Structure 1
Amino acid sequence: MKIAVLIKYVPEATASWRFADDRALDRDGVEGRLSELDEYAVEQAIRLAEAGAATEISYLTMGPPRAVDALRKALAMGGDRAVHVVDDALHGTDAAGTAAVLAAALRRIEADLIICGMASTDAEMSVLPVMVAERLQLPAVVNAAVLKVADGSLTVERDTEDATEEVVAPLPALVSVTDRSGEARYPSFKGIVAAKRKPVTTWSLADLEIPADRVGAGGAATEVLAVRPSPPREAGTVITDEGDAAARLADFLAANKLL
């Protein structure tokens, strides 16, 4: 069984995010990393390989040249090869366009199981897995906390507000995993060194036979109308205990409709 893992290069959460004149995130102008939620997807793929259920793990990302750092991080954790879709025309591509590009790349990779994180840590839309699965006409099982592969099928456990569900889907399939699926491992020194020798293939839109006018801001189905910084946090209310702190705290909570 061949596994493909979708990963994303995202801005550091503590970095100062900047936006270009077209209101798109300036990904080249901010420090980035492999999305933390995608690390859980990487971990699940490696566990399946270690259990003998997978023979090959490929990582796929779409992003600027620096996105190769996310691929190298994943390869250092484990896996065999990576594919980086990079093209200047991709700047400003929305979720729908991204799904089209990733689906085209996945058709070339020909994986039996596609694993994704539950969401990216920048946009946090959580829609990309099912959009990719729809384009590939594959069953999609989302928010998996436990996943197993046997006898040509995928079995997943996922938690809802009321119960734990067990979902079974035939392979090939796509699954997204949550941060409850298992702690992601740290790359070892040996893994970091080995990752430098693992192949990373670069594909352009031309390689995927996707016209440039189908992606980017011009081909987007959505539009960002405005971008503004978050307002500064206001100073909080300090309650000094002079014997009546509990009552004053209760009054504060009640006044702010928190009780």
Structure 2
Amino acid sequence: MTLFTKLFSEIFQERELLYILAKRDISIRYKQTYLGIIWAIIRPVLTMLVFLFAFKNVAKIGDISGYPLQLVIFSGVIIWNLFANTFQAVSNSILANNNLISKVYFPRLIIAFSSIAVSIFDFIIGLIVYMLLSLALMHTISIYILLLPLALVLTLFFSIGLGLIFCSFSVKYRDLLQMIPLIVQYGFFISPIVYTAKSLQISAWFNLYSLFNPLVGIVEYARILLIPGYHLQSFDFIYLSITSSITVFGVGIYIFTKKESSFVDYL
């Protein structure tokens, strides 16, 4: 039995605990807030409006490569929010649940996996808002949206894997926690969130860029599925991003399983 098979078999056996922790996290996220889940709508919409104002009134950009600026920005923002929220949640999951770690044994990956429930919930709300926005702009919703779960899984692979790497080492080296906000802050601008990668494809370094930043291919793949008629010069970089995402996920789980036995010593 391989390491991965054993791990996911244990998690499946403890799926009830996974469900309870996930439900708890979603409940806590919006508990005692007046607007509740409406915040899942407000955040991506405000981000889109800020960049929409900057592009249309400052940079005087009305569309990007013939596609509505609103759809280009919003499609990027909901994927980015999924990555950023998942990465931060997984990175902090062990430290945030140290009371559970020290009391009873169960597969520690359950804590990390349950922490992504809020991110997925917010993504679904954001996707609904995107579809309403698309209809409001008189754009049809592509049938390819049915393949969007693949983009969702790839984003989760990358964000969970990266989060597990940081989580594994930050339990002992707390300085790593200071890097997480920086990655989220600057990563937004080095990923094609409020712009497209189409103009970058002619660059010699583009494939390397896609390899080390899987979000490049994932975001553009999501746009192909979400925006009717959206096309790119080449799809090769998307395959590089897929490879990187799966690799980071595998490395993250491997490192986490090697380090989890020492978590209690530093909590």
TM more than 0.5 = no
TM (normalized to structure 1)? 0.27
More helix by share: 2
Larger Rg: 1
More strand by share: 1
